[in-house]
Amino acid sequence: MAVCIAVLTKDNCPLYVATDPTEDALKMHFLVHTSIDVIEEKLSSATAANDPRDLYLGQLYPNEDYRIYGYVTNTKIKIVVIETISNPLKDARQVFSQVHSAYISLVCNPFYSPGETITSQPFLQTVTALMRGKAIA
């Protein structure tokens, strides 16, 4: 089960950060913020461990209580997912893929201007359901 899902723009502005109520929100924000550096480093490193053309970046850095995963789209939108070690996600790639699809639907919505904070109900519902570990149809 994810404890935090964050969506950031290409300038690293947070568009949306969802945190599980059982966790300290400030700590989650801090972890997301520190992971930005790691993402930038992974993007610019020439000898990437993963396939450098893959959008999924894998685990970003080790931490005693949490695992932090990153994903960057071709349009430079960064998605960060934090999960607890005690309750791991089944498939992080699947979560990223679904958050990405929800984001695409959001951008195609004519009432949403890219760069605004996300307040769209369908997007919020998708992310909340993903955090609880429910697969989306």
Partner 1 sequence: MSYAPDSLFDSLHHQMILYFEGRHGQEQVSQCMEKLGYRVGFCLIEKATKEEARVKEDVDIVKYICKDLWTMVFRKQADNLKTNHTGTFVIQDNRFRFLTRVSQSEQYKQRGELYVAFTCGVVKGALANFGLPCTVTAEIDMSPTVKVTLTLQHSVN
Min dist CB 100 to partner 1, Å, is: 6
Rounded Cα distance between 135 and 137, Å, is 7
Rounded Cα distance between 81 and 79, Å, is 7
* Sheet with 78-84, side-by-side order of all strands: 14-19, 2-8, 78-84, 66-72, 56-59
Min dist CB 101 to partner 1, Å, is: 7
Residues that bind partner 1 (CB under 8 A): 10, 51-55, 72-76, 100-101, 103-104, 107-108, 110, 114
Nearer to partner 1, 76 or 134 (CB): 76
Any bridge partners for residue 22, and if so which? none
Min dist CB 108 to partner 1, Å, is: 5
Nearer to partner 1, 74 or 86 (CB): 74
Q: Please say whether the beta carbons of 19 and 2 come within 8 A.
A: no
* Helix, strand, coil in percent for the chain, rounding step 5: 35, 25, 40
Min dist CB 77 to partner 1, Å, is: 9
